[in-house]
Structure 1
Amino acid sequence: MSYSSRQSPLYRQPSSFFKRSQTVKAKFFLPGVAIAFSTSLALPAFAAQTVDLTILGTTDVHGNVFPTNYFDNKEINMGLAKLGTLIKHYRKENKNTLLVDSGDALQGSQLIYYANKYAPKKKNPLISAMNVLEYDAFALGNHEFNFGLQALGKARSEAKFPFLSANIFLNGTQKPAFQPYLIKEIGGVKVGIIAFSPPGIALWDRANVEGKLEFRDILKSAALYLPELRRKSDVVVALVHAGLGGKYGPAYEGYSASTGLPPENVGEELAKKFPIDVMLLGHTHQDYPQEMIGQAVAAQALKWGERIAVVKLKLEKKEKGWKILSKESKTEPTVGIRSDFEVVKATQEMHQSTQKYIRSAIAETSEGWAAKSADLEDTAIVDLVNEVQREVTKADLSAASIFNSTLTLPKGKISLSQIAALYPYENSLTAVRITGKQLKEYLECSACYYNSYSPGGEAVNPKMRAYNYDMVAGVDYSIDPRKPEGQRISGLLFKGKPVSEEQTFTLAVNSYRQQGGGGYEMLKGAPVVYNKEEGIRELLLDSLKKKGRIEQGDVFRKNWQLLVPLDRDSRKFL
């Protein structure tokens, strides 16, 4: 799909400001004074000088420039091209506008994957788009490190705006690895912008950063820089690539406290402990139009460029600096917004190369693969995912679901888009350490996918989605729907020997499951032993490209079964 200059105008004006948001304003009163004066008479000396300041915030754009799903070429309301039109609209509305990003821009889409893997000498398309849009500052998120420090350094050198982080240091030193903060004067107002990155990068991207960088406690790092920044600034803006934590959610999500790393989601505590005026969050992919925490107005735009955060401040000039009279925020969607021509022009060549790449063959097979009954019997197509996960993590076991039961990989060439259909979600790969007791609980939870056995009855429980039915490779087991839920797993063996409750295993799972998603609470809090924030889909693609040819016999090993007869076509028990 290409984009022409005819698509650049904004044809839908953004919704009226703060229509549904809660507004918090400082009380301000100026008594009215009746004054008669001619056109040559100067304003009274006590007339207040005020400035309106707009701060625009994007986050978790994840490599999305074009509003395109590369796998099926469908239009989606997301990306920097659409955001660019909104950004220019708000700048036209108020010249005193700052544009910042709270991290995770440089990974996540096929565009940025192709650029880093297959066109590393060409300009980074995300940086090109951000340069066109004239960003003022960029906070480093965890995914900025996924392609390695060399790729990050290249992107940084191409950027016309600073990369910020106040809690990343050169290993073993007190020297910040990136600029901790920036002070920018706009409309006569000094705006201090500071950024924080998640400490979990030390675990998630260990291979890229170990021995080179340290990712320290956000709150302790804030204590080093925020008092100084407050003294130098009229307004303090914190770009926090982390969740709020506190009443909003757990402090630890992507890793556990047992790793020894500082907590991840500390936004609420940060805003309460330090004099921050504006907090723009990221990392959690949530949408927060406006939260008032401490003296800060906090906002977070939805992921992938689906929304932009818009903060408006009104300030009054005082004898010493400026006083904030009011602050309010919202998030604005990209629905119905045209793509910005300048952003499209700057990235079109890489976009077209990516589309060609998506349609390319990555491997071959001499037999057809089918997912039709993959949730009713052990199949090679699920084992393909499990074996790649085990190979990457070196885990004892691996768990995977079937996301698309209509998928087939026909005999012949396998295209990149077919593998994308096999694994359509943006899950990353993790591995946790569990006990034999937890493994049994895990399998029993999964076995609830089946109805209680009744001849002629439906085999699958309609209340449980297929993506929440996990099949585990690396152990042998049987499922008996004739037995009550919680007692259906039998014959559980590891390397031919019965599994004991005290035995421990490493289990490769996707990031959603690792956090207890889908009702798998027994995994929540399990020690994380592997997490490099690698997309499972990309790992599958890399594995198949490397092999060039894949046959079912390369990955398939029948290790689980249902102990009751059923008809796979009607999906009913016999």
Structure 2
Amino acid sequence: MTETNTNTSFTLTILETSDLHGTILPIQYANNTPKEVGLAKVATLIHVERQLNPHTLLIDNGDLIQGTPLAYYHARVDHKSIDPMVLCLNELKYDAAVIGNHEFNYGLDVLGKAVSESNFPWLSANTICIKEETPYFGPPYVIKQFDGGPRVGILGITTPFIPNWENPKHIEGLAFDDAVETASKWVKHLREWEKVDVVVVSYHGGFERDIQNGEVSEPETGENQGYRICTEVPGIDVLLTGHQHRTIAGEMINGVVVVQPGTQGTFLAKVQLQLELRDQAWVVVQKQSELLPVEGVPADPRLMELVQDYEDKTQVWLDQPIGKLIGDMRVSDPMMIRLKSSSLIELIHQIQMEFGQTDISSTALFDNDAPGFSSNITMREVVANYIYPNTLKVIRVTGQDVLDALEHSAAYFAPYTGDGIRVSDAFLYPKPQHYNYDMWAGIDYEINISRAVGERVTKLEYKGKPIDLNGHYDVVMNNYRASGGGNYTMFQGKPVIRDIPTDVSELIVSYMMERGTVEAKVNPNWQVVYEK
């Protein structure tokens, strides 16, 4: 792999990207303005690090092929060419990639195409083919042998919480084993059978406990198990993490160096190990980690050139007009959208209820960068507002479930003390979760944020009468929420009355093109209040 090293010391550099979410170019697709993100900028840092130390491993930690209009266009509109993200990783000579939960969003055919086009292995030791009872993506680990240096094992693991979010058709025939149990099995194998000197676990998941004091930081659902992996599985030198979109470096848990590089290529994670040759075996004697920011870093011209054709086609597609708007649906203040009924959210509700054939709907403003709609609606605005490839489901819930869901959403707001309305830390850390605050149509409700969490819903009516907590109601929502995603556990296992398998963004386009013109309307059925 590298030229022979006859020294008794060795420096190994491990570089990690994670949660790139289809981000190659340093732009904001909503308006094409510059943005300090992207693999093209990260690539420049990678080249520098390889010049500093030729003994370098490069790993992507998952959530690679979904997340931008460029990625969506390739997956859904024009997928004849090689996947653009894979094209870039091939060019950069990645050593391995890990399957992330969003890899499944477009189905196994799209994912399988990306995997088959890769010049590097995709790893996920705990994604199991039920029929064969073996890892679905092939060998769960890869070994890199440096000439005159250490033997390094890289094990890939994916958060096993995927069935709680994903469309069942996209993961048919697959099972997802527990991450801790999987790590224990394969780390032992790497140490005892493969005789590796260094074990790197690349885990598309995050931490369920505070890294420094070990206190529980989120419900222990199994979605994130990084702390347990470090404390319960012996033999790990490095734990590369992701999924939570956190920026973590300079931290150790139980002697394991941990790192996480945020999202969309804002940082490149770097771990450096110092090894010494003792009794003919390489021993790690020092570990450190850091995050290298892309801010101010020029984009790599080679990667920009590679994806230019993809980008040109995407931009043409994004600027396609699909309809006219009478009125105002622009987002000037995302907090105001979440405080009372708005024409933008009302439109999404109307579309969901039409395709779901029901009169109750739940949705969210997914991101604070959502622009809303202008008078001339384009594909760009659709994908900028509805950023996830969700589908819709109609599920049958009780009135109590509706109340519980509203109380869960109401926890989005910090207690009101007279100094302004703020978002609760629980929805900001370890990563922003604006997409987990839902707004409803078809019911009338009021949330009082001066009250304690869990006691904030002060009004809840259906068709002018108090909702029957024991009654049953059909509600249309996205598939992520319908499966309990975002800790909406009250929705798990509910009867599915209707499944609409088309991406919501496509439903929005269909709705608008059929009508030609839509009008901004507001149904004032809900509001957030506080006591002065």
- Superposition TM-score tier, normalisation by shorter sequence: 0.7 to 0.9
Question: When the two structures are superposed, what TM-score results if normalisation uses the length of structure 2?
Answer: 0.78
CA offset digits 1:325-369 (Å, max 9, x no partner) = 1111111100110111221121111012112222111x2247445
How much does 1:551 deviate?
A: 7.1
> Does 2:247 align with 1:278?
no
Q: Which moved more, 1:223-232 or 1:470-479?
A: 470-479
> Structure 2: which amino acid aligns with 1:181?
Y
Match of 2:169 among 197, 200, 208: 208
1:410-425 aligned at under 5 Å gives the runs: 410=375, 413-420=376-383, 423=385
Over 3 Å counting, the alpha-carbon distance change for 1:86 and 1:224 in structure 2 is same
CA distance in 1, matches of 2:151, 2:207: 26
| Residue aligned with 1:247, SS | coil
Match of 2:477 in 1: 508
Aligned to 1:385: 348
Given the alignment of the two structures, is residue 541 of structure 1 paired with residue 500 of structure 2, yes or no? no
Residue in structure 2 matching 1:473, options 429, 433, 441: 441
Deviations 1:108-144 (A, max 9, x none): 1111111111111111110011111110000111111
Contact 2:164 2:480 (C-alpha < 8 Å) held by counterparts: no
> Cα 1:238–1:97, aligned 2, differ >3 Å: closer, same or farther?
same
Map of 1:148-227 to 2, 5 A cutoff?
148-178=107-137, 179-187=139-147, 188-227=149-188
Residue type at the aligned position of 2:14: I
Question: C-alpha distance in 1, partners of 2:370/2:289?
Answer: 43
* CA distance in structure 2 between the aligned counterparts of 1:448 and 1:230, rounded to whole angstroms: 45
Change (3 A) 1:545 1:371: closer
Give the drift of 1:237. Answer: 0.3
- Residue of structure 2 aligned with 1:463, choices 421, 424, 428: 421
1:304 counterpart (234, 242, 264):
264
Alignment coverage as a number of residue pairs: 485
- 1:393 to 1:471, Cα distance in 2 relative to 1, 3 A: same
Distance 1:109 1:334 in 2: 18
C-alpha distance 139-286 of structure 1, shift in aligned 2 (>3 A): same
Contact 2:389 2:503 in 1 (8 A): no
2:209 aligns with one of 239, 246, 251 = 246
1:369-380 → structure 2 map (5 Å cutoff): 369-370=328-329, 380=343
- Aligned equivalent of 2:497: none
Q: Give the Cα–Cα distance (whole angstroms) in 2 for the partners of residues 118 and 82 of structure 1.
A: 26
Contact 1:387 1:398 in 2 (8 A): no
- 2 CA distance for matches of 1:182 and 1:192? 6
Structure 1 position 130 matched with structure 2 position 89: yes
2:227 matches 1:264? no
Q: Is the 8 A contact 2:386 2:505 kept in 1?
A: no
Partner of 1:331: 291
Q: In structure 2, how many angstroms separate the alpha carbons of the residues matched to 1:357 and 1:513?
A: 30
Q: Is the 8 A contact 1:419 1:540 kept in 2?
A: no
Matched, 1:349 2:309: yes
Structure 1 residue 552 displacement after superposition: 8.0
Q: Is the 8 A contact 2:37 2:266 kept in 1?
A: yes
User: Whole-Å Cα distance in 2 between the matches of residues 448 and 48 of structure 1?
Assistant: 56
Amino acid at match of 1:152: L
Tell me how far apart the structure 2 counterparts of residues 215 and 447 of structure 1 sit (CA, whole Å): 30
Contact 1:313–1:326 under 8 Å retained in 2: yes
**Residue of structure 2 equivalent to 1:571:** none
CA distance, structure 1, for counterparts of residue 256 and residue 123 of structure 2: 20
The residue type paired with residue 508 of structure 1 is M
Q: Distance in 2 between matches of 1:120 and 1:318?
A: 51
Shift of the 512–66 alpha-carbon distance from structure 1 to 2, 3 Å rule, reads farther
CA displacement 1:11-61 (0-9 Å, x = unmatched): xxxxxxxxxxxxxxxxxxxxxxxxxxxxxxxxxxxx961111111011001
| AA of the residue aligned to 1:549 | E
- The offset of 1:219, in angstroms, is 1.9
In 1, Cα distance between equivalents of 2:492 and 2:320: 35
CA 1:266–1:370 in structure 2 vs 1: closer, same or farther (change >3 Å)? closer
Using the TM superposition, give the Cα deviation of residue 76 of structure 1 relative to its aligned residue in structure 2, in angstroms: 1.0
Query: For residues 315 and 171 of structure 1, what CA distance do their matches in structure 2 show?
Result: 40
Bigger radius of gyration: 1
Alignment-mate amino acid for residue 135 of structure 2: P
Counterpart of 1:90 in structure 2 is 49
- When residues 68 and 285 of structure 1 are mapped into structure 2, their CA distance, relative to the original with a 3 A threshold, is same
Q: CA deviation at 1:240?
A: 0.4
Inter-partner Cα distance in structure 1 for 2:52 and 2:178? 39
Shift of 1:416: 2.0
Structure 1: runs of 5+ lacking an equivalent: 1-46, 258-262, 453-459, 518-522, 531-537, 565-574
| Structure 1 residue 74 displacement after superposition | 1.0
**Which deviates more, 471-480 or 57-66?**
471-480
Letter in structure 2 aligned against 1:463: I
RMSD: 4.2
Deviation per residue, 1:178-231 (Å, 9 max, x gap): 220001112421110001011122232243344421111112222332211113
Tell me the CA shift for residue 81 of structure 1.
0.5
Q: Distance in 2 between matches of 1:563 and 1:317?
A: 64
Contact (CA 8 Å) 1:374, 1:405: kept in 2 or not?
no
For residues 316 and 497 of structure 1, what CA distance do their matches in structure 2 show? Answer: 74
Provide the C-alpha distance between the structure 1 equivalents of 2:411 and 2:237, rounded to a whole number of angstroms. 50
How far does the alpha carbon of each residue in 1:74-128 deviate from its partner, in whole angstroms, 9 at most, with x for none? 1111111001000000000011111001111111111111111111111111001
- C-alpha separation in 1, matches of 2:290 and 2:463: 56
Percent of aligned positions that are identical: 30
Is 1:63 matched with 2:22? yes
Cα deviation, residue 318, structure 1: 2.5
1:321 is aligned to 281
> Residues 164 and 485 of structure 2 are in contact (CA less than 8 Å); yes or no, is this contact kept in structure 1?
no
**Structure 1 residues 476 and 180: CA distance shift in structure 2, 3 A:** same
CA distance 1:218–1:544, shift in 2 (3 Å): same
Aligned residue type for 1:560: N
CA shift in 2, pair 1:267/1:484, >3 Å: closer
**Structure 2 regions of 5+ residues with no counterpart?**
1-5, 424-433, 495-501
| Distance of aligned partners of 1:498 and 1:299 in 2 relative to their CA distance in 1, 3 Å threshold | same
